[in-house]
């Protein structure tokens, strides 16, 4: 017993109304489904469904029980990780904003210029140009740690875009309540957020590195001796990529956890990376002392990587200092993160 009714018109009593008065409820059960949930957005052309029911209930609501079993902790954590990482490529997961997705796509393509160049000149057979672009120690280092443009324009900005709203948005939207009112503890929450950002950075940096390396092997038909020669180098660079992603992620997430907005962590990360780097550069230029580079996250990691990969050192101080600095910076950032995540509220007050 229902009919379509335009909402703007004045209410017309239904012919069936007197019948409904026969039941025990004095007020008619004239009901409108759409009206109950009419949103603020589409109003003009929406129509309402009018259903008449003697009990005064809106429509037949039946509670449907569910008797399944709930998966253990690691599945819950996997859900968080999947939510964030898959959000980059598909709908229905965390909605990353379009500029972020586009920028990551751009960086992935741009990061593979070295692979493309090596491929191109390898195919042409121009050995001089191939030697410039092909896999070697310096190019491997340069793929991960090169300053311009990779570590000034690409990787830190991806990190900044990723960490921007990672934790602060949960604070602002109140979605932190959704995590903590479910059987998810704070450690898992922070660890999975960390892994998500780290993993995306890892895919971008190390994924393209691997493409670069394996393209060279496959297409150039490198022999086993070459592979045995270069594989340790590749692994060292791979490790460097991990250290770099880890460091950017931990600093960025620490900043994200202290703020409410999306922009403070992003600007903060860029300010820390660029600010320390330029300070150290000024001091290096003025007084010829490179030791201040230990406070610059990029340079500290770069220095450690130079030692690991075995390229020429561009810093004067011992690399162990930089290693200590990397450890201390990550430790501080993780401490801040842990501290702040433990104070996230369930109810927003």
Partner 1 sequence: MVGDLVIESTALTKAYGPHVALDSLDIEIHQGATGLLGPNGAGKSTFLKTILGLIQVTSGDGKVLGHDIRTQGDQIRQKIGYMPEYDALNPGMDAIHQVRYSGELMGMNPSIALQRAHQSLEYVGLGEQRYRQVSTFSTGMKQATKLACALIHDPALIIADEPSNGLDAFTRNFMLNTLNTTVKNGGRSVLMASHLMDDVERVCDNIVLLHKGKLAAQGKIEDLKAIDREVEIHVWGSATKMEETLSDRGLRVRREGRVMRIGHSGDETYDLILQTAADVGSQVRRMHDYEASLEDLFLVIMERLGHDVKSSEDLLGGA
Partner 2 sequence: MSSRMDTIWSKLDRKSTAIAEFTMRQYRTRISTWAVMGASVVAIFLMLLFYIDAMNTEIEAKDNDGDSFDSDGDGYPDGQEWLEGTNPNSPESYPDWVEPDPPEKWINEDDIDWDVLANGENYVGEDDDGDCQSQDTSSQRDGNENGIDCDIVVNVDTIKGTVEIDSDNGVDEDPDEEKYGKEAGHRSFILGIGKFGIVFLLGIFLPLFLATGLIREEMTEGTIHYMLAKPIARGEVLLYRMLGYLGITWPFILGLCFVLALITGFTGPSDGIFRWADLGVWMSIAWAAMMVSLVYGTIFCGFGIIWKNGVILAILFAAWELGMTFVAILSGGDSAIRYFSVIGWGMIIVDAGVAVCWPDNWQLIEIGLWGGGHGEENWLGQMSYESLPGAEPLLAFSGKSGLGVSEWVAFVIATAILLFQGIMAWFIGQIIFKGKEVN
Partner 3 sequence: MMPDMTQHGKAETQQWQPVENTPVVMFDRVSKTYGRINALSGVSIGLSGGVTGILGMNGAGKSTFFKLMMGKIKPSSGAIRLFGTDPWKNPAPYSRVGFVPEHEKMYDWMTALDFITTFARLHGMTRDEASIEATRVLKFVSLDEVMHKRIGQFSKGMRQRVKIAHALVNDPELIVLDEPLQGCDPLARTTIMNVIKELGAMGRTVLVSSHILHEIERITEQIVILHRGRVLALGNSHAIREMLDQHPHKILLDCNQPRELAKAIVDMDEVTGLSFSNPAALLIETRHLGEMHKKLPKVIVDSGQIVTGIDNPDDDLQSILMYLTGGSA
SS3 label, residue 2: strand
For residue 86 the two structure tokens come to 């898959």
Closest approach, Cβ 43 to partner 2, in A, equals: 17
- The C-alpha atoms of residue 165 and residue 84 are separated, in whole angstroms, by 12
Nearer to partner 2, 81 or 274 (CB): 274
Q: Which stretch binds partner 3 (CB under 8 A): 1-9, 68-76, 210-218, 308-316?
A: 1-9
Q: Which stretch binds partner 1 (CB under 8 A): 2-10, 67-75, 208-216, 278-286?
A: 67-75
Check residue 38 for interaction with partner 1 (CB under 8 A): yes
- The C-alpha atoms of residue 101 and residue 98 are separated, in whole angstroms, by 5
- Per partner kind, with CB cut-offs from 5 to 8 A, the member of partner 1, partner 3, partner 2, none near residue 95 is partner 1
- The C-alpha atoms of residue 252 and residue 95 are separated, in whole angstroms, by 19
Exposure letters 8-44 (e unless 16+ CB within 10 A, then b) = eeeeeeeeeeeebeeeeeeebbebeeeeeeeeeeeee
Q: State which of residues 1, 15, 43, 125 lies at the interface with partner 3 (CB under 8 A).
A: 43
In sequence order, which residues have a C-beta less than 8 Å from that of residue 242 and are 6 or more positions away?
Answer: 202, 206
SS3 label, residue 50: strand
Nearer to partner 1, 192 or 300 (CB): 192
Closest approach, Cβ 23 to partner 3, in A, equals: 8
Q: Which stretch binds partner 3 (CB under 8 A): 20-28, 189-197, 257-265, 327-335?
A: 20-28
- The C-alpha atoms of residue 71 and residue 290 are separated, in whole angstroms, by 53
Q: State which of residues 20, 28, 50, 76 lies at the interface with partner 1 (CB under 8 A).
A: 76
Q: State which of residues 15, 39, 60, 63 lies at the interface with partner 3 (CB under 8 A).
A: 39
Check residue 39 for interaction with partner 1 (CB under 8 A): yes
Closest approach, Cβ 109 to partner 2, in A, equals: 21
CA distances from 259 to 40, 125, 192, 197, 344 (A): 31, 54, 19, 17, 11
Check residue 10 for interaction with partner 3 (CB under 8 A): yes
Q: Which stretch binds partner 3 (CB under 8 A): 13-21, 99-107, 156-164, 248-256?
A: 13-21
Q: Would you tell me the crossing angle of helices 208-220 and 224-258 to the nearest 10 degrees?
A: 170
Q: What residues between 78 and 117 interact with partner 1 by CB under 8 A?
A: 79-80, 82-83, 91-95, 97
The residues with which 50 forms a beta bridge, in sequence order, are 3, 32
Strands of the sheet containing 48-52, edge to edge, are: 2-5, 48-52, 30-32
The residue ranges that bind partner 1 (CB under 8 A) are 32-33, 35-41, 57-59, 61-68, 70-73, 75-76, 79-80, 82-83, 91-95, 97, 169, 173-175, 177-185, 346-349
The residue ranges that bind partner 2 (CB under 8 A) are 259, 261, 263-264, 266-267, 270-271, 275-276, 278-279, 282-283, 285-287, 289, 292, 295
């Amino acid at each position: 017993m229902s009919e379509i009714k335009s909402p703007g018109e004045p209410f017309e009593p239904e012919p069936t109304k007197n019948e409904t008065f026969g039941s025990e409820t004095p007020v008619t059960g004239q009901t409108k489904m759409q009206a109950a949930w009419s949103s603020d957005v589409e109003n003009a052309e929406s129509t309402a469904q009018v259903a008449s029911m003697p009990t005064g209930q809106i429509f037949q609501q039946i509670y449907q029980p569910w008797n399944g079993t709930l998966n253990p902790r690691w599945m819950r954590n996997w859900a968080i990780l999947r939510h964030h990482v898959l959000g980059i490529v598909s709908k229905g997961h965390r909605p990353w904003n379009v500029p972020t997705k586009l920028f990551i796509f751009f960086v992935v393509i741009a990061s593979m210029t070295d692979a493309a160049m090596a491929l191109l000149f390898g195919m042409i057979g121009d050995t001089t140009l191939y030697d410039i672009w092909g896999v070697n120690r310096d190019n491997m280092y340069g793929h991960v740690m090169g300053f311009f443009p990779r570590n000034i324009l690409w990787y830190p900005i991806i990190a900044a875009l990723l960490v921007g709203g990672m934790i602060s948005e949960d604070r602002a939207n109140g979605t932190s309540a959704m995590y903590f009112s479910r059987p998810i503890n704070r450690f898992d929450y922070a660890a999975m957020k960390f892994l998500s950002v780290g993993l995306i950075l890892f895919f971008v940096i190390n994924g393209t590195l691997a493409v670069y390396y394996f393209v060279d092997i496959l297409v150039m038909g490198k022999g086993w001796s070459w592979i045995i020669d270069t594989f340790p180098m590749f692994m060292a660079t791979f490790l460097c990529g991990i250290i770099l992603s880890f460091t950017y992620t931990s600093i960025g997430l620490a900043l994200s956890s202290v703020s409410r907005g999306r922009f403070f962590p992003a600007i903060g990360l860029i300010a820390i990376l660029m600010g320390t780097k330029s300070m150290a550069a000024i001091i290096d230029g003025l007084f010829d002392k490179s030791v201040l580079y230990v406070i610059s996250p990029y340079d500290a990691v770069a220095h450690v990587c130079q030692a690991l990969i075995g390229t020429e050192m561009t810093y004067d101080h011992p690399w162990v200092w930089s290693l200590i600095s990397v450890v201390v910076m990550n430790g501080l950032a993780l401490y801040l993160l842990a501290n702040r995540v433990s104070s996230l509220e369930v109810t927003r007050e």
